Amino acid sequence: MSIAVSAATSQLGKIIVDILHEKNLSFVALVRDPSKVRAGVETRKFDYNSDAATLAASLTGVKTLILISSGDVIGDRVLQHKNAVDAAKQAGVTTVVYTSLLHAPTSEIAIAGDHKTTEEYIAAAPGLKHVFLRNGWYLENWTGKLDTFLKSGALLNSLFGAKVSPATRRDYAEAAVAAAVLATEGKPVKAVYELGGEAITLEDLTAEISVHAGKEIKSVVVPVDELRKQFAGFGLPPKFVEIIASTDAAAAKGGLYVEPTDLIELIGRQPDNWKQHVKEVVAALPSA
């Protein structure tokens, strides 16, 4: 195989695996638990918490590594990423395609620091090429909570009407596969892509949800300090509260906005229609 995808059973990873499989590409899925990968896919054990020498053995024959950022936001993600990058160097991997965060070097979102440091570490690795896919927010980060919004009648936020550019996981997954294929085949590929879909506001989103749900959902805007209090009151760990609050604060300043140019360039089409996505998610709800 020439392509490997780490965290292959994550929400993004599963879709990337599906696309690679659909395209009949030669690849290997890297996971902590190989039994969780779909049938017919070559798997190798790969735990970000393992040392580089152990991980390198799982990268034998790999030319391009799609390195999906660790979902362990409580743990030491930078160390986990460094383990994977060091393994890639030891195994002779040519290119790392890393799923980063939109505007990572300047973003004020709490998790941005991990991405910035990881990007710098990869870029400094001798002999290792890179493609940084700076993904914007997943549309599913909001539509995955539709049942909660429908029960409360509100989407609590601190964006103050700012535009955001979310895209579906499928779009980001297709972009990752496209970048990996270009790199593997030695075709031109940029070192950095700032990825996002059509620009919308949360007022646009709640209005569209309301249309399909038959119930009014409002975008309820509060100052970010009040947002922190509200989510802390729900019993969330402080680090999660800060991620939510800092994301909204950054988004209010345009931190989750980008033109869809780079995403269109990689996937070769317009991003998934967000209104259609909302319609489908609402229709799939048990109460719909």
C-alpha 246/C-alpha 137 separation (Å) is 13
pTM of the full structure: 0.96
pLDDT score, position 248: 98
- The first and second tokens of residue 51, run together, are 């040392």
pLDDT category at 276 given cuts 50, 70, 90 is: very high
Residue 1 has pLDDT above 80, yes or no: no
pLDDT score, position 84: 98
Helix (H, G, I), strand (E, B) or coil at 215: coil
Q: Which residue has the higher pLDDT, 75 or 243?
A: 243
The answer to whether the beta carbons of residues 32 and 73 sit under 8 Å apart is: no
What does the pLDDT look like over 143-193, one tens digit per residue?
Answer: 999 999 999 999 999 999 999 999 999 999 999 999 999 999 999 999 999
CA dihedral 150, 151, 153, 154 (to 10 degrees): -90
Please classify residue 39 by burial: count the beta carbons closer than 10 Å to its beta carbon, then call 0-12 exposed, 13-18 middle and 19+ buried: exposed
Q: For every residue of 2-69, which 3-state class applies, written as one string? A: CEEECCCCCHHHHHHHHHHHHCCCCEEEEECCHHHCCCCCCEEECCCCCCHHHHHHCCCCCCEEEEEC
pLDDT score, position 73: 78
Q: What angle do CA 126, 72, 139 make, to 5 degrees?
A: 95
Report the Cα 263 to chain-centroid distance in Å: 13
Distances, alpha carbon 280 to alpha carbons 146, 271, 285, in Å:
12, 16, 9
C-alpha 141/C-alpha 241 separation (Å) is 15
What does the pLDDT look like over 215-244, one tens digit per residue?
Answer: 999 999 999 999 999 999 999 999 999 999
pLDDT category at 287 given cuts 50, 70, 90 is: low
What does the pLDDT look like over 29-70, one tens digit per residue?
Answer: 999 998 899 889 999 999 999 999 999 999 999 999 999 999
pLDDT category at 75 given cuts 50, 70, 90 is: confident
C-alpha 159/C-alpha 259 separation (Å) is 18
Give helix then strand counts, H and E, for the chain: 12, 9
Average of per-residue pLDDT across 249-259: 98
The answer to whether the beta carbons of residues 258 and 194 sit under 8 Å apart is: yes
What does the pLDDT look like over 198-207, one tens digit per residue?
Answer: 999 999 999 9
The 10 Å Cβ neighbour count of residue 21 is: 14
